[in-house]
Amino acid sequence: MKFNDLKKNILSVKSPAKYLGGEYGSVVKDISKINVRFAFCFPDTYEIGMSHLGLRILYGLINKREDFWCERAFAPSEDYEALMREQNIKLYGLESYDDIKDFDFIGFTLQYELSYTNIINMLDLAGVPIHAKDRKEGDPIIIAGGPCCCNPEPLFDFFDFFVLGEGEEVTLEILDLYKEIKNNGIDNLRSDFLNAVSKINGVYCNKSVANDENMTNNMCISDKLLPEKRIISDINSSYYPKETIVPFNEIVHDRAVEEVIRGCIRGCRFCQAGYIYRPYREKDIPTIDKQVKSLCDFTGYETVSLSSLSTADYSKIEELLHALNEYTESNNIGMSLPSMRIDSFSDELIAELMKVRKSGLTFAPEAGTQRLRDVINKNISEEDIFKACESAFTYGISNIKLYFMLGLPTETDEDVIEIAKLSERILSLYNSIAKSEHFANSKPPHISISASTFIPKPFTPFQFAPQASEEEIRHKQQLLKDAVRKNRKIDVSYNDYRMSFLEAVFARGDRKLSSVIYTAWKKGSKFDGWDDHFKWNSWVEAFEENDINPHDYVNREYDRDYIFPWDHLNFFIDKDFLWNEWEKAKCGVTTPNCREACSKCGLGKKCNIHKMNRCKDVE
């Protein structure tokens, strides 16, 4: 499609700028000099996709090569999709406006289980055969990466292969292999490449692993060695973009993003990211300082986010913030730490953080009682919570958002009610501080409670746990709502249980679910993570038509010897370790974080904590 033709069609839709490309920092190349073309597809809207750090890293990494060209494509909103179908506009790359069906690769990032129907919809909009078995020579190679690849089985029918783990090294290995085979001029480029790429570590396209028809969601595992996730050992020397795209319109996280840590030292038993992103690695301060300056100078952003699973766990966090503040203060740039552990919070930390501008803070106690926090291995006390809130209030912050989960293993009604009581005690703490003659904040306090439904995920100790039923969750939601009803300074929000249920189904599902996803899409399901698009009845019908009971995947406890659909993939987390953690959870026994003692999770010498002289117990 030509740009002038695109302009004629696009002005009638909402936010047309997100379909036009041409943003500052986007990469346009001479097609005559390109050997391999790659479409990075994000299966959600532009506003969400452009906030994703992984897109920016791989976009810059691939485009750094003169003979490779990475372009972007996002899921179009409903109005633009209607126009595309009406005018027969195929899904195109934002940089060239060429149809992505003519590219060599179409790569999706799997960030969220409820985006799966968007993947099917985007392939259909592109004019690419949806099922891998239907693709022939000349069709693009369809691949996926991202956290949901730790259990890719529900999508197995749609992809040619999956990339496990971190993509900075393996992506270029894949593209180089394709280039080599392509330049040999053979007739069977597609089939020869797929046979060859399976030998690259971190690539999963082995057809010998199949469902046993007599099992609900078990896998029949062959003796062949299957892939391990890829790990970048040194994130200081790995690629990170010096320049990045600046969107025309506002996106969800409209700021510069600097990754400071990869992995996590904690062992929260519900947290999939905390396990599949292991080992723990830190960038050094000079690297972070250089990258922050480069990003902010190029983009002009007035806020930089220090990204990680738990930024306050950075071993020299005060020193880091002090070093960055020399630059950010003089340029009036604010710093955001989106992931902060309550027990890592300090007066020194907040003092550095608040030097440029004040904002609300978010903490995640996850549970209302100490008993339940021990069950999930949160390893924080109520004293830690009050100390963090006291520091925030003292420095003029009056808005606190608290994240909790409902339906956690062993949770009782008392645990739910204590969420409200804990919030009330935090308000009382604010009022006591406000009586001080040195307290200068005149803003009224406000506590926001976000209560999501617990979802058991692969490669966590709670992969063995059942998800609570819809009846149980609705009871808990009402219990919490009633407990805070009379306090106008506290509000509560929670999500639709049916969305959490569906997310759990696909998190724990097998290959049989590919047919369910396809059927639901044919019935109009897409953007399933959006309240105004979610079509529960379509999913109910899709499960029924494929003779699958989704509750078999979700609402049951699994024993130690059960073979999960992801057990054949190696993410360096030992299953016996996960089972022992599950047993400890049921007894309310905690496990120390990785800096205090090695938990023998399975990483062994791949763990970096011992290299930082933080733990002497690594296997």
> Which of the pair, 569 or 343, is modelled with greater confidence?
569
CATH code of the domain in which 14 resides: 3.40.50.280
Q: Give the span between the Cα atoms of 602 and 571, in whole angstroms.
A: 9
Q: Looking at residue 109, what DSSP letter applies?
A: E
Q: What is the pLDDT of residue 138?
A: 93
Q: What is the pLDDT of residues 357-379, one digit of tens each?
A: 556 678 899 999 999 999 999 99
Question: 375-385 burial, b for 16+ CB within 10 Å, e for fewer?
Answer: bbbbbbebebb
Range of the domain at 184: 3-200
User: Does residue 219 sit within a domain?
Assistant: no
Q: Mean pLDDT over all residues of the chain?
A: 90
User: Does residue 505 sit within a domain?
Assistant: no
User: Does residue 133 sit within a domain?
Assistant: yes
- Tokens 């009638």 belong to residue: 12
Percent residues over pLDDT 70 in the chain:
91
Chain CA centroid to CA 191, Å:
32
Q: Which of 37, 23, 4 is nearest to 94 (CA)?
A: 23
User: Does residue 581 sit within a domain?
Assistant: no
The answer for residues whose C-beta is within 8 angstroms of residue 4's C-beta and 6 or more apart is: none
pLDDT at 605 over 90: no
- What's the rounded mean pLDDT across residues 314-322? 91
Q: What is the pLDDT of residue 218?
A: 41
Going by their DSSP bridges, the two strands 36-42 and 105-109 should be labelled as parallel
Angle at which helices 167-183 and 53-63 cross, to 10°: 40
Q: What is the pLDDT of residue 221?
A: 44
Dihedral sign for Cα 567, 459, 516, 135, please. Answer: negative
Q: Which of 565, 564, 514 is nearest to 543 (CA)?
A: 514
Q: Give the span between the Cα atoms of 57 and 54, in whole angstroms.
A: 5
Q: What is the pLDDT of residue 186?
A: 78
526, two tokens: 């897409």
The answer for residues whose C-beta is within 8 angstroms of residue 88's C-beta and 6 or more apart is: none
Q: How confident is the model at residue 78 (pLDDT cuts 50, 70, 90)?
A: very high
Q: Looking at residue 102, what DSSP letter applies?
A: G
- What's the rounded mean pLDDT across residues 152-172? 96
The count of domains in the chain is 1
Q: Give the span between the Cα atoms of 470 and 448, in whole angstroms.
A: 24
Q: What is the pLDDT of residue 356?
A: 54
Q: What is the pLDDT of residue 355?
A: 64
Q: What is the pLDDT of residues 384-422, one digit of tens each?
A: 999 989 888 888 888 889 999 999 999 999 999 999 999
Q: Give the span between the Cα atoms of 388 and 343, in whole angstroms.
A: 7
Q: What is the pLDDT of residues 440-489, one digit of tens each?
A: 666 788 899 999 999 999 999 999 999 999 999 999 999 999 999 888 89
Q: How confident is the model at residue 155 (pLDDT cuts 50, 70, 90)?
A: very high
User: Does residue 23 sit within a domain?
Assistant: yes
Q: What is the pLDDT of residue 208?
A: 42
User: Does residue 126 sit within a domain?
Assistant: yes
User: Does residue 45 sit within a domain?
Assistant: yes
Q: What is the pLDDT of residues 491-531, one digit of tens each?
A: 999 999 999 999 999 999 999 999 999 999 999 999 999 99
User: Does residue 312 sit within a domain?
Assistant: no
Which amino acid is residue 407, in one-letter code? G
- Tokens 């926001």 belong to residue: 448
